[in-house]
Amino acid sequence: MHRALIRMAGAARNFIFPSRCLACGNLFRVRTHGLDPGPSPPDCNNWTWAFFCGDCRDGWTPVRAPICPRCGLMFKSREGEDHLCQNCVAAPRHFFRARAAGLYAGPLMQAVHRFKYHGDTHLAAPLGRLLFQTFREHFAMDPVDLILPVPLHRRKFKQRGFNQSFLLVRNWEKSAWAMDGERRSFSIARNELVRVRATSPQTGLGRNHRLANIRNAFQIAEPDKIKGKRILLVDDVYTTGATVDECARVLLKHQARQVDVLTLARAMTLS
């Protein structure tokens, strides 16, 4: 009886389940070994391959060294050491470091578009797990006091119906349990940072125009909650970093101790 139970438990730990590809939406099969999805193909983040089907996985590019240690830019050349990029040398950032799961291209871009612009909010849970995986890789060692999703202006929020950055971190406690078997709690402050000015879309603007466009767009609701805290800002996409850097500037002005940035995707531009 006892042996039969152990065999059943073993079988339950190794099974194949259908998963829906985050990019194209097709079903594909994932083989799991208990909580661990098994060895990943080369050049894939550990869990990422469980999120995209075989076809879409080919277009997935994880952020890999050499990178800029400050803004997380992935250099086109795959040779050499990490070094500061020309933008970070020319204009030092307020945030300490920014990291992302993958490049904003191919399947990740498709997934973000489905989530954000087509309102496929059920993608928040798997994309949130992908983001949590990146958090584990880069920020697990230094405790973060407060997680702040980058806010939308209330008009934009009304129009979209959700804040994608908040939805990405909302289920991290479940992710920690599913992926690490650990009960962890995260302090997520969704209303601490307030977007007080509606800005025109940043897309298509150069770096200087983006900076001017976003300046003074954010305020802090309760400065006492920020003072002395180590903060992780979360957003879906890092393009030039103008938005998160402006958030970091305001947070440091209110005496945050350190501000780091985590996004799902990162543009590979130097503009």
Which residues make up the interface to Zn ion (CB under 5 A)? 21, 23-24, 53, 56, 68, 70-71, 73, 85, 88
> What does the block give as tokens for 9?
């438990």
Beta strand 258-266 pairing with 98-103:
parallel
Burial class for 22, CB neighbours closer than 10 Å (0-12, 13-18, 19+): buried
Burial class for 77, CB neighbours closer than 10 Å (0-12, 13-18, 19+): exposed
Report the nearest approach of Zn ion to the CB of residue 249 (Å): 16
**Which lies closer to Zn ion via its Cβ, residue 129 or residue 195?**
129
**Which lies closer to Zn ion via its Cβ, residue 70 or residue 229?**
70
Report the nearest approach of Zn ion to the CB of residue 88 (Å): 3
Type of residue at 32: T
**Which lies closer to Zn ion via its Cβ, residue 23 or residue 176?**
23
**Which lies closer to Zn ion via its Cβ, residue 71 or residue 124?**
71
Report the nearest approach of Zn ion to the CB of residue 49 (Å): 12
Report the nearest approach of Zn ion to the CB of residue 55 (Å): 5
DSSP 83-121: ---HHHHHS--SSS-EEEEEESSHHHHHHHHHHHTS--G
- Angle of helix 172-180 relative to helix 124-139, nearest 10 degrees, comes to 70
The distance from CA 207 to its chain's CA centroid, rounded to whole angstroms, is 22
Report the nearest approach of Zn ion to the CB of residue 113 (Å): 14
**Which lies closer to Zn ion via its Cβ, residue 26 or residue 187?**
26
